[in-house]
Amino acid sequence: MSADTGPEPDRVEGAPHPRDTCRLFGQTAAETAFLTAFASERLHHAWLLNGPRGVGKATLAWRIARFLLATPDHQEGGLFGAAPAMPDTLEIPADHPVARRIHARAEPGLYHIRRTVNEKTGRLRDQILAENVRDLNRFLGLSAADGGRRVVIIDAADEMNIQAANALLKMLEEPPARTTFLLVSHQPARLLPTIRSRCRDLRLMPLDQQDMQDALDQAGIEAGGQAAALAQLSRGSAGEAVRLYNLDGLKIYGELVAIAATLPQLDRPRAIQMAEAASARGAETRLDLLYALIDLFLSRLARAGATGIAPPETVPGEAEVIARLAPDQHAARRWAECAQEIGARSRHGRAVNLDPAALVLDTVFKLQQAAQAV
């Protein structure tokens, strides 16, 4: 059961929805922690699944939901009254009735809350509203089926407005029997402290290169020799790696590094070409990606200068550029300051609808000034 049937804000474009993602990679510790709690017969009523965006939090939430709705309590007894064997995995067969119903979005024991479409504009809202959470009361008031379990997934809990958060808090303060809340959170600090205090924390970590390769294979992404670079630039986020792949992120990052290689002189024609590409019609997502990659490049410069350790090279020539532009801690501080300044200027520029090409050129000139100072 779901709170809406419109577009899916919790799905990465080009990848399956977490509801339909079969396997979870790189999060064995989190899965084991949940199974241990389940085996203790003291399962907490609310779980905060947190960690970087795109590392598998939503996938884990749906795995837990399938598991809880398909697995009897240990004390309920099995054949001839014997207690069933304690499960050692969250895996549920794809042909299990619960798995089939969840895939069809027809599972009566599951409620899914996420951002919905604004009927007036036809666009997704940028927040989860109080009405989305209050509708949950009707679900909780229904007669429970299949042993009485219910599971509620909120993805992402960070996106609740204050009224929605307060509505949820009331339910967490007096949790319904045999109901498990799974809150997916990219930034737990944005949640009410009173909500965080009522949840058990379940932390998920960035993926390593092998887990990233496996996750991309499952998503149908044929990364080939790009897997290592995607793992680096996505900071271990499979969701971000898919976005990079779909938007030619490695090519954009390579062009950014090539322009940086000309600093402090600056290849102006090349910079203008990059600015024009970012201002083309329908290029909003690429502009967002460009600024994310600029921030990433600056952080790699700052970290290399501060530690004296060069990051693994992701595109040809990157190691040489980083070594030249970030030779010491003085350079590291300058690039860190540059990142903050560019971030603030880009947010302001987009807020006032500044021409994207002019905004990108302004950013490149800030990079040039920082390189001259270094």
Residue-wise DSSP of 165-181: HHHHHHHHHSPPTTEEE
Phi-psi map region of 174: left, alpha, beta (phi>0 left; psi -120 to 50 alpha) = beta
Residue where a domain stops, chosen among 147, 174, 203:
203
Give the per-residue pLDDT at 5.
Answer: 53
Secondary structure element (H or E) that encloses residue 115, with its range:
none
Residue where a domain stops, chosen among 135, 168, 203:
203
**Model confidence band, residue 2 (pLDDT cutoffs 50, 70, 90):** low
* Percent of the chain topping pLDDT 90: 73
Question: Are 242 and 59 contacting, i.e. CB atoms less than 8 angstroms apart?
Answer: no
- Which residue(s) pair with 112 in the sheet? 2, 153
> At what angle are helices 249-260 and 284-307 packed, to 10 degrees?
50
For residues 141 and 34, state if they share a domain: yes
For residues 174 and 289, state if they share a domain: no
The predicted model gives 70-91 an average pLDDT of 66
Whole-angstrom Cα distance, residue 126 to residue 160?
A: 9
For residues 266 and 130, state if they share a domain: no
**Model confidence band, residue 79 (pLDDT cutoffs 50, 70, 90):** very low
190: CATH: 3.40.50.300
Whole-angstrom Cα distance, residue 261 to residue 255?
A: 10
Whole-angstrom Cα distance, residue 367 to residue 373?
A: 10
* Res 72 pLDDT > 90: no
Whole-angstrom Cα distance, residue 58 to residue 15?
A: 13
For residues 113 and 174, state if they share a domain: yes
Residue-range definition of the domain harbouring residue 314: 247-373
pLDDT tens per residue, range 129-183: 999 998 898 888 775 555 578 999 999 999 999 999 999 999 999 988 889 999 9
- What does each C-alpha distance from 80 to 39, 130, 146 come to in angstroms? 21, 47, 19
Give the per-residue pLDDT at 80.
Answer: 44
Give the per-residue pLDDT at 335.
Answer: 97
The model's pTM: 0.87
Residue where a domain stops, chosen among 172, 188, 203:
203
Decide if 170 is inside a domain: yes
For residues 153 and 258, state if they share a domain: no
For residues 58 and 179, state if they share a domain: yes
Whole-angstrom Cα distance, residue 282 to residue 84?
A: 56
The mean pLDDT value of the chain amounts to: 90
Lowest mean pLDDT among 73-77, 96-100, 152-156, 270-274: 73-77
Question: Are 62 and 245 contacting, i.e. CB atoms less than 8 angstroms apart?
Answer: no
Angle, alpha carbons 166-169-175 (nearest 5°): 150
Decide if 238 is inside a domain: no
pLDDT tens per residue, range 342-361: 999 999 998 898 899 999 99
Number of domains in the chain: 2
Decide if 135 is inside a domain: yes
Please state the length of the chain: 374
How would DSSP label each residue in 25-78?
Answer: -S-HHHHHHHHHHHHTT---SEEEEESSTTSSHHHHHHHHHHHHHHS--GGG--
Which residue, chain included where needed, has tokens 């970290």?
303
Question: Are 124 and 9 contacting, i.e. CB atoms less than 8 angstroms apart?
Answer: yes
For residues 36 and 116, state if they share a domain: yes
